[in-house]
Amino acid sequence: MFRSLTFSALVALIALSISLLITETVIAQPTSPSPAPTNPPKKPNNPGITINQLKKGFAGNCPTSAATPEIITCEDALPFINRAIKKYRLKTRGQKAAYVANMAFEGGYLKYNHNLQNPSQGTRSIMPAVSLRAFVNANKSVQKLWPGYPNNVNDSTIVDVLIKNKLDFEPGAWWTVSGPDCATVAKGLTGVDATFLVWEKTCIRGGEETIQDRLKIYTNVYKAFM
């Protein structure tokens, strides 16, 4: 037979039982799920440039109107520029700046798409026929413009075919990163003068007498493309 508990012992036993019951209840309560992490919006894979960046890069030299058939305004040119940037994978700030700066120098800030002395040389980057043929040879999507390619590609009219089909912004973009001897030096293009000079002398070869003018434009465009 159990011995009777003292009153104080009974109180202590009841208190212990209540404490254990509360502890079990707390443990049994389900925990609230942690809020799902919010991911920041992804940036475009290969963003182009904005009209403000283009205008700033051109430093007041954007044509105000299409006064002649060859002139195109910055607003009208922008979609073609961005399409070329995306299509030919100009991924870095330096590559985009080099493409636009070379086009600005060669084409007089979108005023020309033909060499005035040599009609077979042109597009927005004023490239010679041999370079335009290299562009065509490297891009199957362009070759379809010549049924029976390559048999009927005429060097003297390549430029006109490209312009007629609104592809005159594309050869310069392709050449910037994929032309002969261009790929490696294009990867190194930054805001440092030496990187542009290496690219210009290796890839463009525009002539020693033009380098400083080209560098000045590139520097301005690069800064604008922040």
pLDDT in tens, 197-217: 999 999 999 999 999 999 999
Whether pTM exceeds 0.85: no
Domain that residue 88 falls in: 51-224
- Residue 144 token pair: 């379809």
Q: Which pLDDT does position 41 carry in this prediction?
A: 52
Residue 6 included in any domain: no
Residue 175 lies in a domain: yes
Residue 207 domain-assigned (yes or no): yes
Nearest to 193 by CA among 106, 101, 55: 101
Residue 110: CATH number of its domain: 1.10.530
Q: Is residue 82 part of a domain?
A: yes
Structural domain total, the chain: 1
Name the β-bridge partners of 114. 122
Mean pLDDT of 4-9: 49
Q: What are the phi and psi torsion angles at 78 (to 5°)?
A: -55, -45
Instruction: Please check whether residue 36 lies inside any domain of the structure.
Output: no
pLDDT digits (tens, 9 = 90+) for 103-143: 999 999 999 999 999 999 999 999 999 999 999 999 999 99
- Entry field: residues in the chain: 226
Determine the angle formed by the axes of helices 211-224 and 93-106, rounding to 10 degrees.
Answer: 130
Residue 192 lies in a domain: yes
How far is it, in rounded angstroms, from Cα 122 to Cα 160? 8
8-state DSSP, 202: I
In a domain, 14, yes or no: no
Has residue 136 been placed in a domain?
yes
